[in-house]
A and B are shown apart, each in its own frame.
Chain A
Amino acid sequence: MLEFFRTLTNNWDIFSRGFLTTLKLFVIGAVGSLTVGTILATMRVSPVPVLRGLGAAYVNIIRNTPLTLVFAFLVFAAPKLGIEIAFEPAAYTALTIYTAAFICETLRSGINTVPVGQGEAARALGMTFGQVLYLIVLPQAFRTVVPPLISMLNAMLKNTTVAAGFSVVEAGAIQAYLSERGENQVVTLFWITFGFLCFVVPLILLQRYLERRWAVVR
């Protein structure tokens, strides 16, 4: 039993470093993909056909590309094309590029739930497309998609572990380190799972809170 806790305390340097990087990847990735995702969703519902097409193309390409491939492209292929990008920024970029496609679609489904009358009424008041979207439609859309949006972020949190294969030492790299130090693998994996739980539980609580607070009465 003592051995069980020692796996954590003896290797605290690796655990803390790993999960700190995971947290960084998660926060920056979340901010990035929410921003890009919102812009993409705007493009996909905009009245300009070219923007709609670009948005759709982005979403369909990225959604059908494994995250590992996005990473591999940035880390291995990009330098050969003359684009230099350090490993950690590459990880932020890959996570943002990838998750934004899913955020975009989640948000678009939210936009579809906003009754047409809302938009029509706003337009009748003389609002422009931008005003209709950002003042009337998007706030309502965001409120309806809180649960799937948090699920998306949750998935991204776990996706951060892909970065371990591309020279970013986060939670996904802990196992390799501890196996080399001769620690019990089952115990190691338990502590990694436990660490992720520490991130996920607050996320779920946030979801519940936002759901209650932001519920749209229709």
Chain B
Amino acid sequence: MNSCRTASLMGMGVLAIVMALGACGKKDEPRAAGSTSAAVGTGDKCASSGVKLTPATDVKIEGSKTYDKIKGAGKIVVGVKADQPNLGYKDADGKRCGFDIEVAQLVAARIGIDPSKIEYKEIPSTNRETAIKGGEIDYYVGTYSITDKRKNDVGFAGPYFIAGQDLLVRKDESAITGKDTLQGKKVCSATGSTPLQRVREQKLTDDGNISEFKTYSECVSQLLDKKVDAVTTDDAILKGFAAQSPSKLKVIGQPFSQEKYGIGVAKDDTAFRNAVNDVLEAANKDGTWKKIYDGTLGLSGSSATQPPAERY
């Protein structure tokens, strides 16, 4: 009996060591060591673009259920992502930052709610429609592509950004230059995502060469471990990762689709959707949008202009 116990204790010790080793492995993922140190968005530390947002005072949105709810509660519940560097990110200290987060804050401020009163909810892609329909969140900002099918379930303000499917590869990769050079290469993307389904349908590589994980960060880890050769999804997301470890990763820069990012709102709340569109348009005119972009996603080195709202 005694020997049993010693053995199992020893075993647990071994497991602890093994787990510690695993953790070590994660740690030496680049912190983008010291490169222009405070550079926003590099490494794991969160910093914002520095755009000051003061809540507007004279806001009236007639006939909007969402707005009435927000006013009544005195706070906004916003659906976001937390694992996309420079877009929707939560750092080790629990701070949130990124382009999408600041767009969410911009909308809040312009409809009269202090951005500090935002309650963030991390909603995975698969649950977005359900969360909006069920009133769990007031609006959603998180690389949410506007599609006709989704319009059956939710409403979209925007687009506030146009992205396209691209490829993220290791810095020293020379064989992959675009989607047509993927044959025989190992490609990774998020389980069931549109970019992944596109790779399958267009037979860009063999089925056996496709790997899929729940999050893009897991794919990037596989890429750094050389278990896959490319990670594919919207260039906005990939640029965020490239900006995080510029010495190891690069984005090809040959987008082969067009994704319009919108702000997801309740389907029947046209008043609220219009109000958010107004906010985006105003931010475009007074330069706030550009400041936010330059201070977050723009750090990857590419510039962008805001697309006009669709107002369908």
Contact surface of A with B, Cβ cutoff 8 Å: 49-50, 52-54, 56-58, 60-61, 64-65, 69, 72-73, 76-77, 79-81, 87, 164-167, 169, 173, 175-182, 185
A77 to B149, CA, bound (A): 39
Task: Using known A-B contacts A53-B3, A185-B129, determine if residue A80 contacts B8 with beta carbons closer than 8 Å.
Answer: no
The digit string for B195-225, where 1 denotes a CB below 8 A from any CB of A, is: 0010000000000000111100010010001
A165 to B194, CA, bound (A): 17
Dominant SS among interface residues on chain A: helix
| For the complex of A and B, 4 pairs with smallest distance between CB atoms | A53-B7, A176-B192, A182-B149, A57-B11
Chain B positions within 8 Å of A61 at CB level: 8, 11-12, 15
Chain B positions within 8 Å of A164 at CB level: 191, 214
Contacts A/B (CB < 8 Å), 10 sampled: A53-B4, A56-B8, A57-B8, A57-B11, A64-B12, A77-B25, A79-B225, A80-B25, A176-B193, A180-B126
A72 to B11, CA, bound (A): 19
Q: Are A49 and B192 in contact (CB under 8 A)?
A: no
Name the one of A56, A73, A87, A176 contacting B4, with C-beta atoms under 8 angstroms. Answer: A56
Chain A positions within 8 Å of B150 at CB level: 182
Chain B interfacial residues counted at CB < 8 A:
39
B21 adjacent to chain A (CB < 8 Å): yes
B282 adjacent to chain A (CB < 8 Å): no
Chain A positions within 8 Å of B4 at CB level: 52-53, 56-57
Chain B positions within 8 Å of A72 at CB level: 22
A169 to B208, CA, bound (A): 11
Q: Are A80 and B153 in contact (CB under 8 A)?
A: no
Contact surface of B with A, Cβ cutoff 8 Å: 3-4, 6-8, 10-12, 15, 18-19, 21-22, 25, 125-127, 129-130, 147, 149-150, 152-153, 188, 190-194, 197, 211-214, 218, 221, 225, 227
Chain A positions within 8 Å of B18 at CB level: 73, 77
Q: Are A180 and B194 in contact (CB under 8 A)?
A: yes
Task: Using known A-B contacts A165-B213, A179-B125, determine if residue A77 contacts B22 with beta carbons closer than 8 Å.
Answer: yes
A165 to B218, CA, bound (A): 10
Q: Which of A49, A167, A169 has the most CB of B within 10 A?
A: A167
Chain A positions within 8 Å of B192 at CB level: 173, 175-180
A80 to B19, CA, bound (A): 12
Q: Are B21 and A80 in contact (CB under 8 A)?
A: yes
Tell me how far the C-beta of A75 lies from the nearest C-beta in chain B, rounded to whole angstroms: 9
Closest to B126 in A: A179
Chain B positions within 8 Å of A79 at CB level: 225, 227
A164 to B212, CA, bound (A): 8
Chain B positions within 8 Å of A80 at CB level: 21-22, 25, 225
Tell me how far the C-beta of B135 lies from the nearest C-beta in chain A, rounded to whole angstroms: 16
Q: Are B149 and A181 in contact (CB under 8 A)?
A: yes
Contacts A57-B10, A175-B192 supplied; 4 other A-B pairs, CB < 8 Å: A80-B25, A167-B213, A173-B212, A176-B190
Q: Are B22 and A73 in contact (CB under 8 A)?
A: yes
Task: Using known A-B contacts A60-B11, A182-B152, determine if residue A52 contacts B147 with beta carbons closer than 8 Å.
Answer: no
Closest to A60 in B: B8
Task: Using known A-B contacts A53-B6, A61-B15, A176-B126, determine if residue A76 contacts B194 with beta carbons closer than 8 Å.
Answer: no
A41 to B21, CA, bound (A): 30
A184 to B8, CA, bound (A): 48
Task: Using known A-B contacts A53-B7, A60-B11, determine if residue A167 contacts B22 with beta carbons closer than 8 Å.
Answer: no
Tell me how far the C-beta of A137 lies from the nearest C-beta in chain B, rounded to whole angstroms: 20
Chain B positions within 8 Å of A69 at CB level: 19
Task: Using known A-B contacts A53-B4, A54-B7, A73-B18, determine if residue A185 contacts B130 with beta carbons closer than 8 Å.
Answer: yes
Tell me how far the C-beta of A4 lies from the nearest C-beta in chain B, rounded to whole angstroms: 16
Q: Are A76 and B221 in contact (CB under 8 A)?
A: yes
Q: Are A182 and B22 in contact (CB under 8 A)?
A: no
